[in-house]
Chains A and B, each alone.
Chain A
């Protein structure tokens, strides 16, 4: 937390665009909540 607080002062973009180590970074949480895709469909059915 102390290291992150230092990053906030020196490299705020690094924090604002985190996480950087995950397979997907920032999800569109609003879209995910409003238009959830809960079921797989074959490509031709979409």
Chain B
């Protein structure tokens, strides 16, 4: 097949990119048009000037004036310019742009969950609290950690929470310590997190395989090291095979191991950070657990930790108490003896049976969940209310729909897909690190750059073929990086 024919055939497989023009709403506005018609006033008119005083504006705001159909067409046209995971492959490395199954959306729209309000009395919110509790237990099972908070609203927010836990623990031991070690392959948010937590950042050079250089690590870790922030698998898609030794070196000096869980899609069901020495980590529900990225998600970055860090978790912490027990910080609605959740039909939603324990069902019948606020060592709140609960529901739906075997299969497929892409392209693009790939593969533009074409150019050409570009020029340890993460979907 000729080159033109190849391109043509490839182009036919993908959608054409819509390219119609669209003016701003202000530019298509016409005075007097409106999208609604109010009925005549049937209450006494109010003098707005008298009511608002100085706050009453003299001129009306200059807002666009359009009919309803013009507004609908405008935003519908704009929406066709978006590229989305529902339109095609989105191989943005380190972002795990996987398909968001529709069952997640179905469950999140169940009335009792969709309408749950953070100010709803605890006694009337036991269903949604069971969802939160079950998700927490699933995530602890997946990570091998001991305690968790779901409060952080994104990955970087989770990092900040995690490093604040590290700091609080060191402070409780009499010295917050002064520095955090970060490999040169790390996400940029890692050094930002350490700096904003009051630590200086010390760079750790990668070895020839793209992993941690153990000798360099041993030289750099000292009694002033608070933690190492490590992404595993690393940003070049390589598993840190020396991870247990890394943890040993850190722990010997009283430093902790923080794991950036951005790449957890390569580990779920196969390896648990809690088993290989990690002390604290964050997860990205919007990556690994299929909640949306689009429009800001919203994201969700739970932080899981070992038991010794549990006292420092953000408040409030979800605890299970016996049904007769008064909540630790019961609100005024929690009158003694009153327990509306025990009445048939009051609880809005019952969580499905927990996946791993038959005794859990009995336990949830004889107990209730409550938020515990009285935690003197806590780092305090990191977010209003309890986190992005809508994302918890979607993530739990994903976990339960897949089950342990399904999640493991997902991981295997994600790794298989990345290696398929590697095998298909490694004769054409330079592969700087030959170590076995996990969930993503990173090439260099070395051969193409010699002809004057850089990674950014190739990424932009990929748009013409109907694909979202891969991650460009990251990680920094690869010159002209092409970072491709196909995910399992």
- Residue positions of A touching B, CB distance < 8 A: 1-10, 12, 14-16, 18-23, 26, 40, 42
Contact = CB atoms under 8 A, between A and B. Distances in A.
A18 B428 contact: no
A10 B3 contact: yes
A21 to B, nearest CB: 4
Contacts of A8: 448, 451, 453, 458
Nearest to A41: B26
Interface residues of B, number: 29
A17 B458 CA distance: 10
| Candidate in B17, B424, B458 with the most chain A CB atoms within 10 angstroms | B458
Interface stretch (B49-57, B181-189, B460-468): B460-468
Nearest to B19: A23
Contact of B464 (A5, A12, A21, A40): A21
Contact of A23 (B6, B7, B21, B425): B21
B433 interface: no
B457 A18 contact: yes
Contacts of A6: 3, 6
A9 B135 CA distance: 51
B344 interface: no
A43 B457 CA distance: 35
Interface of B: 3, 6-7, 10, 16-17, 19-21, 24, 26, 62, 81, 424-425, 428-429, 448, 451-453, 457-458, 460-465
A3 B6 CA distance: 7
Given A2-B428, A8-B458, 18 more contacts: A1-B424, A1-B428, A3-B465, A4-B458, A4-B465, A5-B448, A6-B6, A8-B448, A8-B451, A9-B451, A15-B453, A18-B460, A19-B463, A19-B464, A20-B464, A21-B16, A22-B17, A26-B460
Contacts of A40: 24, 26
A14 B457 CA distance: 9
Contacts of A16: 452-453, 457
| Candidate in B21, B24, B448 with the most chain A CB atoms within 10 angstroms | B448
A19 to B, nearest CB: 4
Contact of A3 (B10, B19, B62): B10
14 contacts: A1-B424, A1-B428, A4-B461, A5-B428, A5-B448, A8-B451, A16-B453, A19-B463, A19-B464, A21-B16, A21-B17, A22-B17, A23-B21, A40-B24
Given A16-B452, A22-B17, A42-B62, A2 B461 contact: no
B435 to A, nearest CB: 21
A42 B463 CA distance: 34
Given A1-B425, A2-B428, A14 B461 contact: yes
Nearest to B450: A8
A21 B26 contact: no
Contacts of B448: 5, 8
A4 B16 CA distance: 17
Contacts of B17: 19, 21-22
Contact of B451 (A12, A21, A23, A26): A12
A25 to B, nearest CB: 8
A7 B457 CA distance: 11
A18 B460 CA distance: 5
Contacts of A20: 464
Contact of B463 (A2, A9, A14, A21): A21
A1 B462 contact: yes
Contacts of B19: 21-23
